[in-house]
Amino acid sequence: MKDIAEEFANQTSPRALKEVAKWRDTVAKKDAADQEILFASQLVRWTILYGPENVGGDVDSVVVDSGGVHWINRKDVCKAEP
């Protein structure tokens, strides 16, 4: 559901402006790279919160780079390694 993610990423509504401002306060002390990663995960959460009934549930988030796999969010039922 890209409409909601785009709304919050571009802050094109009053609710997006409010939620993004609130969210920024929670990550203000983190560096810019971490904020960018966390923002991507937060976009998914807002899509679940404000999306239609067919969107929802916990989401696993991972960053893969030359240093390996770095979990951001992982459900207990999701294996850390394949």
Is the pTM higher than 0.85? The answer reads no
User: In this predicted model, what pLDDT tens digit does every residue of 23-65 receive, in sequence order?
Assistant: 999 999 999 988 988 998 899 889 888 887 766 667 777 778 8
Phi and psi, residue 55, nearest 5°: -115, 135
Whose tokens are 């390996």? That residue is 68
pLDDT recorded at residue 44: 86
What is the rounded distance in angstroms from the CA atom of residue 21 to the CA atom of residue 26?
9
Q: How sure is the predictor about 19, in pLDDT bands with cuts at 50, 70 and 90?
A: very high
Domain chopping of the chain, boundaries: 2-56
Length of the chain (residues) = 82
